[in-house]
Structure 1
Amino acid sequence: MPFEELLNTLNPHIVGSLKRAIELGKWPDGKTLTDAQRRRCGEAVARWEQHNLPPASRAGFVPRKETPCGNPSADERKINWV
């Protein structure tokens, strides 16, 4: 089965199982994931999440600061004299 077809068969339960296998480094039956399997599972999870979840719910999401870099907050503008 081509990878694109496989992605279309994924659902939240399967993606959760893939994430767990990646985290533990082994399949549910106890067999160790190879490096290639881990990479492929990670790619499948990332691509599925990109198409099915909002950004804040995806693995690895890092929220932006509330103030843009060019406009520091009041706390960042304070000068401490030593």
Structure 2
Amino acid sequence: MDSPSFSSFEALVDSMSREVWENMRRAVELGKWPDGRVLSVEQRALSLQAVLAWEARNQVPERERTGHVPRPDCESDHIHSLEQILTLRPAKGDDDHA
């Protein structure tokens, strides 16, 4: 399947409502459309591009944007109470690759 041309991609993003953006964003997150159909790798990639482009065009506040990770120095001290030390170990069978 051919990728849409830049102008048709632009038209898609321009025509998206907030509801479409929310549904597409959720589909990218879950890997499936609201009706349960699984997104292909290409659909997921193009949908993510559309979501990000829509956010930029509609000046979505930073903390609402896809992929936003709040910085601890910008949040309340509550975030620090959620910190946890993690210990990383090789997965089973990966012991030989150290």
TM-score, L = length of structure 2:
0.59
For residue 58 of structure 1, what is the amino acid of its counterpart? R
Q: 1:36 to 1:65 in 2, by over 3 A?
A: same
Q: Gaps spanning 5+ residues in structure 1: where? A: 68-82
- Residues paired across the two proteins, number: 67
Any idea what SS the aligned residue of 2:11 has? Answer: helix
Task: For 2:31 and 2:22, locate their aligned partners in 1 and report how far apart those are by CA, in whole Å.
Answer: 14
Q: 1:26 to 1:62 in 2, by over 3 A?
A: closer
TM-score, L = length of structure 1:
0.69
Q: Gaps spanning 5+ residues in structure 2: where? A: 1-6, 75-98
Q: What RMSD over aligned residues (CA atoms) do the two structures have, in Å?
A: 2.0
Q: Deviations over 1:33-76 (max 9, x none)?
A: 00000000000001111121122321112345649xxxxxxxxx
Structure 1 or 2, whichever has the larger Rg, is 1
Task: For 1:45 and 1:4, locate their aligned partners in 2 and report how far apart those are by CA, in whole Å.
Answer: 12
Task: For 2:13 and 2:56, locate their aligned partners in 1 and report how far apart those are by CA, in whole Å.
Answer: 11
Match of 1:62 in 2: 69
Identity score, percent: 40
Q: Which stretches of structure 1, 4 residues or more, deviate above 6 A after TM superposition?
A: none
